[in-house]
Amino acid sequence: MSKYPRAAFIKSADAPVQFVPDEGAEVAFAGRSNAGKSSAINVIVNRRQFARTSRTPGRTRLINFFSLRDGARIVDLPGYGFARVADSQREHWADLMAEYFETRASLRGMFLVVDIRRKLTDFDRQMLAFATSVGLPVHVLLTKADKLKRGQAARALREVGGELGDQVTIQLFSALDRQGEDEARARLEELLESSE
Ligand SMILES: Nc1nc2c(ncn2[C@@H]2O[C@H](COP(=O)(O)OP(=O)(O)OP(=O)(O)O)[C@@H](O)[C@H]2O)c(=O)[nH]1
Ligand SMILES: [Mg+2]
């Protein structure tokens, strides 16, 4: 049974005019292409292929808005760091993301999804620096934890956690075996319920 029985896809946006009305509260899922953003959303909402996942990096090219309930949304952002895209597309992506982060008054926090085997990439660090500069709370999902042995995963958690500022929270996660789903939902709810 989903914790969000009324969860539904709202729309995809390729331009700011297509963003859903900026009211209520939303949390955005950002991260490297193929890190596991869409998979994490599916586990948190407890629905298969709610947000579409793919083995092909760069699957989510649009900003996808989902409603969890009245006035609460999650936003699946297109991944970064995907090498095989044209410069024009990369620029379009950067413009779209800048518009999104600069304009969304309803944005309460960011879930930064990081593949535990790759740890933080330069772009993850840029996202963290940006979020810190505008006072946006960040929760790091160190995902694909099932790919490492427990000890290795714990070490990665300490290592990445040590690089993060005080405002940033972090946890181990796996969409495959659902490790950390309750913790992720609790943090998501905390952010959604927070006032700015
Ligand atoms: N083993 C394992 N595989 C995972 C996990 N999460 C995601 N994957 C796999 O990683 C691949 C990418 O997952 P997605 O959820 O589509 O990644 P994404 O970040 O949404 O990717 P883009 O939309 O391209 O930016 C898929 O093949 C998933 O099945 C996990 O926790 N464990
Ligand atoms: Mg995706």
Q: Which candidate, 43, 62, 27, 34, places its Cα nearest to that of 137?
A: 27
Where on the phi/psi map is residue 31: left (φ > 0), alpha (ψ -120 to 50), or beta? Answer: left
Going by pLDDT thresholds of 50, 70 and 90, the confidence category of residue 2 is confident
Residue pointed to by tokens 């700011």: 16
Going by pLDDT thresholds of 50, 70 and 90, the confidence category of residue 80 is confident
Ligand 1 pocket residues where CB is under 6 Å? 31, 33-39, 53-55, 57-60, 79, 143-144, 146-147, 174-176
Higher pLDDT, 142 or 195: 142
Q: Whose CA is nearest to atom 12 of ligand 1?
A: 34
Q: Which ligand is nearest to the CA of 112?
A: 1
**pLDDT at 86 > cutoff 70:** yes
Atom from ligand 1 closest to the CA of residue 175: 31
Average pLDDT over residues 76-88: 78
User: Exposed, middle or buried, 126 (CB in 10 Å: 0-12/13-18/19+)?
Assistant: exposed
Choice among 54-63, 125-134, 162-171 with the minimum mean pLDDT = 54-63
How far, in Å, is the centroid of ligand 2 from the Cα of 40?
Answer: 9
- Cα 108 vs. chain centroid, distance in angstroms? 12
Q: Can you tell me whether residue 135 is helix, strand or coil?
A: coil
How far, in Å, is the centroid of ligand 1 from the Cα of 14?
Answer: 22
pTM of structure = 0.94
Name the most confidently modeled range: 80-84, 122-126, 136-140: 136-140
Atom from ligand 1 closest to the CA of residue 54: 16
Name the most confidently modeled range: 71-85, 89-103, 108-122: 108-122
The total number of residues written for the chain in this structure: 196
Residue 179, token pair as written in the block: 């490790």
Average pLDDT over residues 13-29: 96
**pLDDT at 113 > cutoff 70:** yes
Strand pairing category for 63-69 and 72-76: antiparallel
> Rounded to an integer, what distance in angstroms lies between the CA atom of residue 187 and that of residue 40?
13
How far, in Å, is the centroid of ligand 2 from the Cα of 146?
Answer: 19
